[in-house]
């Protein structure tokens, strides 16, 4: 089931991406609605991170195209923000929490312009929103995994973008951090932002997302969460691997979606 959106914030057409001539994504066609929380869900190796990187033109496409706000990405890059996987970052880099968040404004400043007071205020405001203002002068290497994730989120907030791509922002964080992050994402949605999240936890997906993209190298489904997260479509996405998700499958059959346990 693939639902196409009128006036989409993101349009992907016939997108194919390969690594070393081996296709990772095949012929992806989808549109995403503005002002929504979108979950990109599928098994390991399904191409979820590849999809959002290709959407941002961080990876070259073998075929097809992506348009954001109905324009080529190069024309709207200053309206886009990206939170990569925490594991992909060198956390030993000698920088304070405040400096990392302030870097979020460099895209608009340009590399050789000094941050203004307004940029510094925005950085501190972003830290306050994620509950990390008291850590502003701490070295990022001294933070826990959950704290580092909050700092990365603050850095994205400081950019004041219109669309946010986030690669597994809930991975490896405690339940308090996860709750704080999802509340923040909901606030961003209420402000008209679009947030696209690579996510691996099926049990929380129905609670977190308005729109879900089910992916396993090919697009299985894209649409409202309550229409996409069905037993049939999940089995198509996970194939035989769904046996490990029996409990989730039973919950889905009964249409019971509990919140994640703390």
- Report whether 25 contacts 50 (CB < 8 A): yes
Residue 40's domain comprises 1-69+165-172+198-254
58 domain residue, yes or no: yes
pLDDT at 110: 53
- 141-147: long-range pairs with CB below 8 Å, 24+: 141/91, 141/92, 141/93, 141/94, 143/91, 143/97, 145/86, 145/172, 145/173, 146/172, 146/173, 146/174, 146/176, 146/177, 147/177
Q: What is the layout of strands, in order, in the sheet containing 218-224?
A: 80-83, 163-167, 194-198, 37-41, 211-216, 218-224
30 domain residue, yes or no: yes
Q: Which residues pair with 196 in a beta bridge?
A: 38, 165
The CA angle 234-237-242, to the nearest 5 degrees, is: 60
Q: Is the pLDDT of residue 255 over 70?
A: no
97 domain residue, yes or no: no
- Mean pLDDT across 167-171: 87
Q: What is the DSSP letter of 167?
A: E
CB atoms within 10 A of CB 244: 11
Out of 19-33, 153-167, 221-235, 247-261, pick the least confident.
247-261
128 domain residue, yes or no: no
36 domain residue, yes or no: yes
pTM: 0.83
63 domain residue, yes or no: yes
pLDDT at 107: 54
105 domain residue, yes or no: no
98 domain residue, yes or no: no
Question: In the chain, how many domains are there?
Answer: 1
Q: What does the pLDDT look like over 59-84, one tens digit per residue?
A: 888 889 999 999 999 899 889 988 88
CATH number of 227's domain:
3.40.50.300
Q: What does the pLDDT look like over 225-239, one tens digit per residue?
A: 989 988 889 888 988
- Mean pLDDT across 141-153: 84
End-to-end CA distance of the chain: give it in Å, rounded. 33
- Report whether 216 contacts 237 (CB < 8 A): yes
pLDDT at 250: 54
pLDDT at 197: 94
The top-scoring range by mean pLDDT among 103-117, 135-149, 166-180, 199-213 is 199-213
Would you call 212 helix, strand, or coil by DSSP?
strand
Q: Is the pLDDT of residue 39 over 90?
A: yes
Q: Is the pLDDT of residue 12 over 60?
A: yes
Average pLDDT score, the chain: 83
Cα distances (angstroms) measured from residue 17 to each of 23, 27, 65, 215, 220: 6, 9, 11, 14, 17
Cα distances (angstroms) measured from residue 214 to each of 42, 46, 202, 205, 245: 6, 9, 11, 11, 15
pLDDT at 91: 67
């Amino acid at each position: 089931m693939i639902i196409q959106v009128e006036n989409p914030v993101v349009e992907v057409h016939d997108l194919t991406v390969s690594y070393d001539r081996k296709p990772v994504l095949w012929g992806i066609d989808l549109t995403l609605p503005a002002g929504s929380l979108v979950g990109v869900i599928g098994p390991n190796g399904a191409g979820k991170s590849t999809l959002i990187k290709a959407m941002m033109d961080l990876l070259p496409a073998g075929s097809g195209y992506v348009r954001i706000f109905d324009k080529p990405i190069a024309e709207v890059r200053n309206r886009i923000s990206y939170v990569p996987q925490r594991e992909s970052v060198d956390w030993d880099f000698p920088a304070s929490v405040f400096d990392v968040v302030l870097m979020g404004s460099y895209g608009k400043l340009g590399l050789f312009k000094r941050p203004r007071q307004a940029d510094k205020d925005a950085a501190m405001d972003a830290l306050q929103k994620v509950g990390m203002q008291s850590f502003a002068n701490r070295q990022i290497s001294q933070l826990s995994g959950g704290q580092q994730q909050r700092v990365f989120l603050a850095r994205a907030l400081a950019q004041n973008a219109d669309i946010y791509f986030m690669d597994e922002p809930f991975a490896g964080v405690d339940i308090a951090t996860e709750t704080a992050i999802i509340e923040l994402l909901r606030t961003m949605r209420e402000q008209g932002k679009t947030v696209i999240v690579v996510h691996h936890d099926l049990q929380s997906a129905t609670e977190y997302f308005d729109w879900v993209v089910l992916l396993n190298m090919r697009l299985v489904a894209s649409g409202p969460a309550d229409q996409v997260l069905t037993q049939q479509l999940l089995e198509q996405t996970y194939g035989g691997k769904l046996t490990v998700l029996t409990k989730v499958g039973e919950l889905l059959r009964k249409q019971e979606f509990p919140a994640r346990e703390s």
